[in-house]
Structure 1
Amino acid sequence: MKEIIIEGLSKKIKGTLILDNVNMQMEPGKVYGLRGKNGCGKTMIMRALCGLLIPDSGKVIIDGEVLHRDIKFPRSVGVLIENPSFLPQYTGYENLRMLSKLMGNISDEEVRNAIERVGLDPDDGRTYRKYSLGMKQKLGIANAIMGEPDLIILDEPINALDEQTVMSIKTELLKLRDEGKLIVIACHDREELEFLCDIIYEIKNGTVAGCEVIGE
Structure 2
Amino acid sequence: MGTGRQYTIRVKNVSKDFNGVTVLDHISISLESGKIYGIVGHNGSGKTVLFKLICGFLKCSSGEILVNGKRIGKDLNMLTDAGVIIEDPAFLRNWSGYRNLEFLYTIRNRNNKQYLYSVIRKVGLEPEERKAVGKYSLGMRQRLAIAQAIMEDPPILILDEPMNGLDKHGIDEMRKLFLEMKAEGKLILMASHNKEDIDTLCDEVYQMEDGRVSRIR
Using the size of structure 1 for normalisation, the TM-score is 0.94
Contact 2:123 2:147 in 1 (8 A): yes
Contact 1:114 1:147 in 2 (8 A): no
- Report the counterpart of residue 163 of structure 1 in structure 2: 168
Residue deviations 1:77-119, cap 9 Å, x none?
A: 0001111110111111111111112233774443222211110
Pair 68,104 (structure 1): closer, same or farther in 2 beyond 3 Å: farther
Question: Residues of 1 paired with 2:113 and 2:69: CA distance?
Answer: 32
Pair 27,105 (structure 1): closer, same or farther in 2 beyond 3 Å: farther
**1:133-152 equivalences in 2 (<5 Å):** 133-152=138-157
1:190 aligns with 2:195: yes
Using the size of structure 2 for normalisation, the TM-score is 0.93
Q: CA RMSD in A?
A: 1.4
User: Structure 1: any 5+ residue segments left out of the alignment?
Assistant: none
Pair 69,131 (structure 1): closer, same or farther in 2 beyond 3 Å: same
**1:127-138 equivalences in 2 (<5 Å):** 127-138=132-143
**1:111-130 equivalences in 2 (<5 Å):** 111-130=116-135
* Corresponding letter in the other structure for 2:119: A
Deviation at 1:189, TM superposition (A): 2.1
Secondary structure class of the residue paired with 1:48: helix
Deviation at 1:191, TM superposition (A): 2.1
Higher mean alpha-carbon deviation, 98-107 vs 180-189, is at: 98-107
**1:6-155 equivalences in 2 (<5 Å):** 6-104=11-109, 107-155=112-160
1:203 aligns with 2:208: yes
Contact 1:155 1:186 in 2 (8 A): yes
